[in-house]
A and B are shown apart, each in its own frame.
Chain A
């Protein structure tokens, strides 16, 4: 079965640079979530989108922005990168209103970002 695809899988940037992470949800999933997992930490919710509109907002810094496109893929744009942004960034997708199995969030493999 198709899973959530994230690219790139690894990214190395320097401080003050920008980065763009991409997420391709499971086919027919309309909701995308972004989570950040620091080293040794639990995943923290950043932001989510449903049908191309922002649906929930978590602890996403103002330096970050995200959007969902007409094909339901999503991009997380990160600017003025800081050392503390080094983390694993997960995207998850689900389908609204289709029962618990579809509403469950399925995670991609993550993008590991290292800021030097």
Chain B
């Protein structure tokens, strides 16, 4: 069955880079996503990557995918206090099938 794993907590200093890691088990996953959830708020899509890509960069965000190891990471450059939130990785077989989420990583940014 599908399972997505993330470390639960990460603490970084403002201005440093943050790296949030995720592993998944379903090798048939085609789309992998990162969502951000601030306290009491909804899920904001940050970025996504196809399984046939190794890397995707979008401003301060860099996504790396190691398909062989089924490992996905999200790097946030120059982390700001506004980046403090829970970050969920999610996988799906196609773009229109249900998302399977990891447990989420709570990122705390220290000023």
Of B43, B88, B101, the most chain A CB neighbours within 10 A belong to B43
Asked if B98 and A42 make an inter-chain contact with CB atoms under 8 angstroms apart, the answer reads: no
In the assembled complex, the Cα of A92 lies from the Cα of B97 at a distance in Å of: 12
Whether the Cβ atoms of A58 and B98 lie closer than 8 Å is: yes
Task: Chain A residues near B103: list those with CB within 8 A.
Answer: 41-42
Q: Which residue of A lies closest to B43 (CB)?
A: A107
Interface segment, one of A14-22, A43-51, A61-69, A71-79: A43-51
Are the CB atoms of B95 and A33 closer together than 8 Å?
no
> Given the known A-B contacts A42-B88, A42-B103, are A100 and B42 also in contact in the complex, defined by CB atoms under 8 Å?
no
Asked if A86 CB lies within 8 Å of chain B CBs, one says no
Q: Are B50 and A100 in contact (CB under 8 A)?
A: yes
Are the C-beta atoms of B41 and A107 separated by less than 8 Å? Answer: no
Residues of A within 8 A of B42 (CB): 90, 107-110
Nearest A-chain residue to B94, judged by Cβ: A103
Interface residues on A, range: 20 to 34
Residues of A within 8 A of B43 (CB): 43, 90, 92, 107
B99 in the interface, Cβ–Cβ < 8 Å?
yes
Contact A50 B50 (CB under 8 A): no
Closest chain-B Cβ to A110's Cβ sits at a distance in Å of 5
Interface residues of B, Cβ cutoff 8 Å to A: 31, 33, 35, 41-45, 48, 50, 88, 94-104
18 of the cross-chain contacts (CB-CB < 8 Å) are A33-B98, A35-B99, A43-B43, A43-B88, A43-B99, A44-B101, A45-B99, A45-B100, A55-B96, A56-B97, A96-B96, A100-B95, A104-B95, A105-B45, A107-B42, A107-B43, A109-B41, A110-B42
